[in-house]
Amino acid sequence: MSIRVGIYGYGNLGRGVELAIGQNEDMTAVGVFTRRAPESVKTLTGIPVYAVSEIEKWKNEIDVLILCGGSSTDLPEQTPQMAKLFNVVDSFDTHAKIPEHLKAVEEAAKSAGKTAMISAGWDPGMFSLARLYGGAVLPEGNDYTFWGKGVSQGHSDAIRRIEGVADSKQYTIPVESALERVRKGENPVLTTREKHVRECFVVAKAGADKTRIENEIKTMPNYFADYDTIVHFISQEELNEKHAGLPHGGVVIRSGETGNGNKHVIEYSLKLDSNAEFTSSVLVACARAVYRLQKEGIFGAKTLFDVPPVYLSPKTREEVIAKLL
Amino acid sequence: MSIRVGIYGYGNLGRGVELAIGQNEDMTAVGVFTRRAPESVKTLTGIPVYAVSEIEKWKNEIDVLILCGGSSTDLPEQTPQMAKLFNVVDSFDTHAKIPEHLKAVEEAAKSAGKTAMISAGWDPGMFSLARLYGGAVLPEGNDYTFWGKGVSQGHSDAIRRIEGVADSKQYTIPVESALERVRKGENPVLTTREKHVRECFVVAKAGADKTRIENEIKTMPNYFADYDTIVHFISQEELNEKHAGLPHGGVVIRSGETGNGNKHVIEYSLKLDSNAEFTSSVLVACARAVYRLQKEGIFGAKTLFDVPPVYLSPKTREEVIAKLL
């Protein structure tokens, strides 16, 4: 019996989910639900496209709906709404608003007898797990999270909003010397500036004042002002050719001590060619967990912290205990 | 309300558990239970020592008993026996016999309304979790586990059994070039010899034939014959001075692909000054999980695969969701 998965939204994440379902033999993609005109959307693997307005009709045809919208306006509304009709998974990643989102989804899912997983992906998600396990097994220690090297879409967008900028790509890069100090167990206190560098590739419009653009980038509050920022002006052709991908990744380190000053360093790292496809792949594994939990009568809003790891695996408990433990 | 923990056995692991309990504010060490004469055992922190033969009297005074014996003869007998009386945690690490051990412990614990966690530590344990999560989120890919650099006690012991050897320490070392190929996402097929090197520091007895000893080490089946092995003869003083510790560690890598050939590499690594103290620290976090599961009426034999991560943390669910997710 295949788990029937619906995809709500068809941007990078939705396409990634479609492809990831194809890598999991116990799952079938039912279709994509879009706010656009369905006939205007072509899916990568040919799965059907439907209008979101009709989604309620699919109540009994979908086991888990994966929500592929954005965290700022889509998910706060869509996840609680859909959790009344379906088991759902989302990648809500506005860290500060997670408790609020969890509460809204909990109320919707619980009363409907549905199960929802929120904030799945890699951060929040796999990185959160690394932080939780690290702190549990090394209670005296410090957590460090470094992001990159990778493309930050929010920062790339912020640069594109500056007057005179035609296009842009921003890479977040961990400061190698800081990373080395943490890996050695020095437990340094690091400022924002000491942890990451921001490198920007910018295409200026013809005749634009590059000095002003560079200055506006480097002094932009929240986004760049607290960092050492490097700005390169390049042509649109070079940007398209050398900076087309959306790689990302990062490192979570727990550095702690036991006994009489024995040091231990736990490091969890990701090197991802495609940020969206990896996130999608995590969402699909979480869809399996949500499906199983709901079958067992465990309803409401969950996070990766709440789910026994074995629920994520396509293998049986006996198999993972025999082969992976 | 503190979780009252008993320690069964007082070798390196038992001492590590005693120290780790002191790092967890929600726990109290009730005492050590030993097969030796209790008055002959001095504990590091002054906790009391009792005879194992009296342990049944402690049935209502201990919330979780951590079993600190060895996997070859102690745990197969002790864990099922103790699981009839107490919630228990062990570090059973004979991978091939885990299913059999799980079954024996399941039968004992389930019928007694107790909860048992088996095979906790780092491998099996944290490394197993890395393998399970890695495979779940990257279903098309390969698993790699490298151990070291670290002291293998079994291999050190094997060398000491050779005639003419006074003392010895053996380090397992990952082959850096193999590790690099895996990190690059090459997905190589690696033989035993290509993955690890074994480096041995040996103290020969006066007049012993070093050539014969070296040859016996290098050709020892299972332990050394399949590896490139380096043998150094040193003095007992140098061994005591430079090779006193029991560091260990290693790396679990999941290398996989999504979509149209996008590569992703997940790496989980441990660098441990003290193998035993880190293992103990994991056992103590697992004791917390076992205590909570039993309170909720979830009985029987569990592994880290079966436990929601939040059960391991000293923090509340609300706190970890707000701060670590």
Confidence tier at A248 by pLDDT (50, 70, 90): very high
Structure confidence at residue B243 (pLDDT): 96
- Distance, in Å, from the CA atom of B148 to the CA atom of A253, rounded to the nearest integer, reads 18
For the segment B95-125, what is each residue's pLDDT rounded down to a tens digit? 999 999 999 999 999 999 999 999 999 999 9
Q: Average pLDDT in the A67-82 region? A: 96
Q: Could you tell me the strand order of the sheet in which A49-51 lies?
A: A49-51, A27-34, A3-8, A64-67, A87-89, A115-117, A300-302
Q: What are the two backbone dihedrals, phi and then psi, of residue B183, each rounded to the nearest 5 degrees?
A: -60, -30
> B62-87 pLDDT, tens per residue?
999 999 999 999 999 999 999 999 99
Across the A:B interface, residue pairs with CB atoms under 8 Å apart total 216
* Distance, C-alpha B196 to centroid of its chain: 19
Q: How confident is the model at residue A156 (pLDDT cuts 50, 70, 90)?
A: very high
pLDDT of A1: 79
Q: How far is CA A156 from CA A70, A139, A172, A202, B202, in A?
A: 16, 37, 10, 9, 58
Q: Does B322 touch chain A (CB under 8 A)?
A: yes
Cα–Cα distance, B121 to B244 (Å, whole number): 22
Q: Cβ–Cβ of B306/A305 closer than 8 Å?
A: no
pLDDT digits (tens, 9 = 90+) for B258-314: 998 999 999 999 999 999 999 999 999 999 999 999 999 999 999 999 999 999 999
Is A310 touching B (CB cutoff 8 A)?
yes
- Set of chain A residues whose Cβ sits within 8 Å of the Cβ of B300: none
Chain B residues 145-204 within an 8 A CB cutoff of chain A: 183, 185
Identify the closest residue of chain B to A261 by CA–CA distance.
B273
| A138, A273, A322 member nearest B264 (Cβ) | A273
Query: Which amino acid belongs to residue B257?
Result: E
State residue A112's pLDDT score.
98
Q: Is the pLDDT of residue A209 over 90?
A: yes
Task: Give me the percent of chain A exceeding a pLDDT of 70.
Answer: 100
What residues of chain B lie within 8 A of the CB of A141, using their CB?
none
User: Are A98 and B325 an interchain contact pair (Cβ–Cβ within 8 Å)?
Assistant: yes
Note whether A148 and A250 are within 8 A (CB): yes
Establish if B267 touches chain A: CB-CB under 8 angstroms: yes
DSSP H/E element including B108: helix B98-112
**What is the least distance, in Å, from the CA of B249 to any CA of chain A?**
9
Query: pLDDT tens digit string along A285-315?
Result: 999 999 999 999 999 999 999 999 999 999 9
Q: Do B268 and A267 touch (CB under 8 A)?
A: yes
* Cα distance between residue A14 and residue A3, in whole Å: 17
Closest Cβ opposite residue B277 in set A139, A259, A278: A259
Q: What is the pLDDT of residue A11?
A: 95
On whether any CB of chain B is under 8 Å from the CB of A89, the answer is no
Q: Is A139 on the interface with B (CB under 8 A)?
A: yes
> What is chain A's mean pLDDT, rounded?
97
Percent of chain B whose predicted confidence (pLDDT) is above 70: 100
Nearest Cα to Cα of residue B109 among B82, B128, B132: B82
Q: What is the DSSP string of B19-34?
A: HHHTT-TTEEEEEEEE
How many Å apart are CA A230 and CA A242, to the nearest integer?
17
Banded pLDDT at B38 (limits 50, 70, 90): very high
- Share in percent of chain A as helix, strand, coil (round to 5): 40, 25, 35
Q: What is the amino acid identity at position B54?
A: E
Tell which residue, A303, A309, A307, has the closest CA to residue A103. A303
Per-residue pLDDT, averaged over B205-222, amounts to 96
Nearest chain A Cα distance for residue B54, angstroms: 29
Report yes or no: A18 and A47 within 8 Å, Cβ to Cβ.
yes
What chain A residue is nearest to B248 in terms of C-alpha separation?
A264
